[in-house]
């Protein structure tokens, strides 16, 4: 059984694979401001009925450190989530492999394999949520780059035209103008 976690700025979601590879019920809870490792561990226990999973897969917001499976400073997330080492924390608690991937990459891969992008050579997927993410899938595989094709940080309104500041240090990024947080601010 594989426990699957989706980390978002406002909610956490979890499910586990059932025999035959089907997906069990999805459990959703608000993203807590404190003790994120406890919240994730509780979700794993909930969806696995307290059994040890064979592996844990995590869909995480960017930016994150893929090599260490750690969140860096995801926009809109409480400070307790910043620099959180997901791989070490959950491997230590459950004794199984933990794989962390960018949430937009996960969604893009699912769309390419199971959704509207099935049979198409290249799929570009934009997710608009707390932030804006982009997943690119070519020939059935995620295209991974240094910045994970951060489509939310393409500049639409540059600083020299008084574009609004972005948490990334730039100005006028798509994410600053059209993400869930930007829409809420407006």
Whether the predicted pLDDT of 154 surpasses 80: yes
Per the CB < 8 A criterion, the answer to whether 103 and 6 are in contact is: yes
Q: Is 137 a residue whose pLDDT tops 70?
A: yes
For CA atoms 56, 57, 63, 68, the dihedral sign is positive
Q: Say if CB 139 and CB 108 are below 8 A apart.
A: no
Structure tokens at 100: 């962390």
pLDDT tops 70 at residue 146: no
Give the list of residues 6+ apart from residue 113 with CB closer than 8 angstroms, or none: 140
pLDDT surpassing 90 at residue 138: yes
Q: Give the pLDDT mean for 114-142.
A: 91
- Paired with 70 in beta bridges are 65, 85
81 has a pLDDT exceeding 90: yes
Q: pLDDT at position 34, please?
A: 94
Whole-number pLDDT of residue 148? 60
pLDDT at 111 over 70: yes
Average pLDDT, the chain: 90
Per-residue pLDDT of 2-32, as tens digits, reads 999 999 888 999 999 988 888 999 999 999 9
What pLDDT was estimated at residue 62?
78
What the block records as the tokens of 104 is 């937009």
| Residue % of the chain over a pLDDT of 90 | 57
Name every residue whose Cβ is closer than 8 Å to that of residue 14 and which is 6 or more positions away in sequence.
3, 4, 5, 6, 26, 27, 43, 44, 46, 47
List Cβ neighbours of 92 (8 Å cut-off, separation of 6 or more). Answer: none
DSSP state of 163: P
Helix ranges, the chain (H): 36-47, 86-94, 103-114, 174-178, 180-185
State the pLDDT at residue 130.
78
Residue 3 has a pLDDT of 97
Mean pLDDT in residue range 47-60: 94
Angle, CA 52 vertex, CA 51 and CA 57 arms, to 5° = 115
């Amino acid at each position: 059984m594989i426990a699957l976690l989706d980390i978002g700025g406002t909610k956490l979601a979890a499910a586990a694979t059932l025999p035959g590879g089907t997906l069990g019920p999805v459990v959703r809870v608000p993203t807590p401001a404190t003790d994120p490792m406890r919240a994730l561990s509780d979700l794993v226990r909930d969806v696995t009925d307290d059994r040890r999973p064979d592996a844990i897969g995590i869909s995480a917001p960017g930016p994150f450190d893929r090599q260490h499976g750690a969140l860096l400073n995801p926009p809109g997330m409480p400070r307790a989530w910043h620099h959180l080492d997901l791989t070490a924390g959950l491997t230590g608690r459950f004794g199984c492999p933990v794989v962390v991937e960018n949430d937009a990459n996960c969604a893009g891969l699912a769309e390419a394999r199971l959704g509207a992008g099935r049979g198409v050579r290249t799929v570009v997927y934009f997710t608009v949520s707390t932030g804006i993410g982009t997943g690119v899938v070519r020939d059935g595989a995620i295209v991974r780059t240094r910045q994970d094709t951060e489509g939310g940080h393409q500049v639409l309104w540059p600083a020299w035209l008084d574009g609004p500041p972005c948490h990334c240090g730039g100005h006028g990024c798509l994410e600053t103008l059209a993400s869930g947080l930007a829409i809420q601010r407006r």
